[in-house]
Amino acid sequence: MADMMKALAKTKPGVGLELIDAPIPVAGDEDVLIKVKRTAVCGTDIHIWNWDEWSQKNVPVPMITGHEFSGEIVAIGKDVDRRLKVGQRVSAEGHVIDLNSEAARAGHFHLDPDTRGIGVNRQGAFAEYVVAPAFNVIELPDDVPYEIGSILDPFGNAVHTAQQFDLLGEDVLVTGAGPIGIMAAAVARQAGARTVVLTDINDFRLELAHKVAPGVRTVNTLREDLHDVIPELGMKVGFDVALEMSGSPIAFKQCVDTLIMGGGLAMLGIPSRPMETDWGSIILKALTIKGVYGREMFTTWRKMLGLLKAGLDLQPLITHQMSYERYQEGFEAMKSGQSGKVVLNWDKAA
Active site residues: 44, 47
Least distance from C-beta 205 to ligand NAD, angstroms? 5
**Please, which residue, 134 or 334, has the CB nearer to ligand NAD?**
334
Identify which of 206, 232, 230, 234 has the alpha carbon closest to the alpha carbon of residue 220: 206
Considering the rule CB under 5 A, would residue 334 count as an interface residue with Zn ion? no
Least distance from C-beta 154 to Zn ion, angstroms? 5
**Please, which residue, 11 or 288, has the CB nearer to ligand NAD?**
288
Cα–Cα distance measured from residue 305 to residue 216, given in angstroms and rounded to the nearest whole number: 22
Among 42, 73, 138, 317, binds Zn ion (CB under 5 A): 42
Q: Which residues contact 341 (CB under 8 A, 6 or more apart)?
A: 40, 41, 151, 154, 179, 317, 318, 319, 320
248 binds, among ligand NAD, Zn ion, none (CB under 5 to 8 A by kind): ligand NAD
**Please, which residue, 64 or 334, has the CB nearer to ligand NAD?**
334
Neighbour count for residue 224 (Cβ, 10 Å): 13
**Please, which residue, 8 or 177, has the CB nearer to ligand NAD?**
177
Identify which of 26, 38, 110 has the alpha carbon closest to the alpha carbon of residue 72: 38
Cβ-proximal residue to ligand NAD, closest one:
178
Least distance from C-beta 178 to ligand NAD, angstroms? 2
> Beta strand 68-76 with 89-92: parallel, antiparallel or unpaired?
antiparallel
Neighbour count for residue 72 (Cβ, 10 Å): 15
- Fill in the DSSP letter of residue 113: T
263 binds, among ligand NAD, Zn ion, none (CB under 5 to 8 A by kind): none
Do residues 189 and 216 touch, judged by C-beta distance below 8 A? yes
323 binds, among ligand NAD, Zn ion, none (CB under 5 to 8 A by kind): none
Least distance from C-beta 183 to ligand NAD, angstroms? 8
Helix axis angle, 299-309 relative to 152-162, nearest 10°? 100
> Beta strand 195-200 with 171-175: parallel, antiparallel or unpaired?
parallel
Identify which of 91, 88, 84, 30 has the alpha carbon closest to the alpha carbon of residue 66: 91
Residues engaged in binding ligand NAD (CB under 6 A): 43, 154, 157, 175-181, 199-202, 205, 221, 245-248, 250-251, 268-270, 292-294
Least distance from C-beta 39 to Zn ion, angstroms? 10
**Please, which residue, 161 or 254, has the CB nearer to Zn ion?**
161
Residues contributing to the site for Zn ion (CB under 5 A): 42, 68, 153
